[in-house]
Amino acid sequence: MHVDESLLTSVADHYKTHLAPIYAWMTGGLDAAIARGDAEIYAVLPNLSSGVTAVDLGAGFGMHAIPLARRGCSVLAVDTSSLLLEELMGRAQALAVKAVEDDLLSFRKYLDSSADVILCMGDTLTHLPDQPSVEKLFSLAAESLRPPGQFIATFRDYTSPLVGDGRFIPVRSDNDRILTCFLEYGTDYVDVHDVLNERDGSVWRQKVSSYRKLRLSPEWVSAALRAAGFSARVEPGLAGMTRVIATRA
């Protein structure tokens, strides 16, 4: 691989210095994103009853945690970004949401009882450092769910590499800001370079930050979930993502 690894940022730093301040803008605004999250929750959990204990891993600003809480769930939201959790709590107000700034693999420390639903949405799974960490997460989820609890994840399938100009992905732009993503593929990972151009008065300023994501295939994710004690089905998710719905046997 031609990437100088010293130029890569940790996931937590990438969000802190680069993505978190523009995350709501990148997704088209908090309200619109939360409305999409609500529709997705309804699609995957149509019979959700109030009183359910839910965990949202890599909750961000609460695209799914807020709709879950609005539907009467008690929600544990875990994320390493304090800025995104502040946005989440700004929206949660009096809803039953506990926001915790920590690594998602530590979520069990904050869970008072078994959970009914555990979510890991919006490509958070691929942010884990390696495949054993993903397997560890699935085991922790299985241990934490009361049967027939569900683990639901959405992630991007990077297993078929984009080539040539296709590796330059326009993410979002308006009159004052342009975000483009450039991908470089390794064997089981992809290095993501987020190129942000922002207008500063009459000049444009460019900031680049790079981090690593895992290339996880839907087949590997399903098999790892089955090995952890789930039955799993895979279906298309929002915005080209893969959605996996796993039920604790």
Ligand X SMILES: C[S@@+](CC[C@H](N)C(=O)[O-])C[C@H]1O[C@@H](n2cnc3c(N)ncnc32)[C@H](O)[C@@H]1O
> With respect to ligand X, which residue has the nearer C-beta, 61 or 185?
61
Strands 189-200 and 203-214: antiparallel
Tokens of 85: 């959790």
The answer to whether the Cα torsion of 208, 216, 82, 26 is positive or negative is positive
Minimum CB distance to ligand X, residue 58 (Å): 3
CB of 50 to ligand X, least distance (A): 22
| Whole-number Å distance between alpha carbons of 242 and 239 | 9
Closer to ligand X by Cβ: residue 2 or 38: 38
CB-facing half-sphere around the CA of 178: CA atoms within 13 A = 10
Q: What is the dihedral of CA 133, 137, 140, 145, to 10 degrees?
A: -170
| C-beta atoms surrounding 226 within 10 Å | 14
Query: What pairing do the DSSP bridges indicate for beta strands 97-101 and 177-185?
Result: unpaired
**Does position 77 bind ligand X by CB under 6 A?**
no
Which parts of 2-61 interact with ligand X (CB under 6 A)?
Answer: 11, 15, 58-60
- Answer yes or no whether residue 142 interacts with ligand X by CB under 6 A: no
* Cβ-based nearer residue to ligand X, 235 or 249: 235
237 binds ligand X (CB under 6 A): no
Residue among 48 and 137 whose Cβ is closer to ligand X: 137
Tell me how far, at minimum, the Cβ of 71 lies from ligand X, in Å: 17
Catalog residues that contact ligand X under the rule CB under 6 A. Answer: 11, 15, 58-60, 63, 78-81, 84, 103-104, 121-124, 127
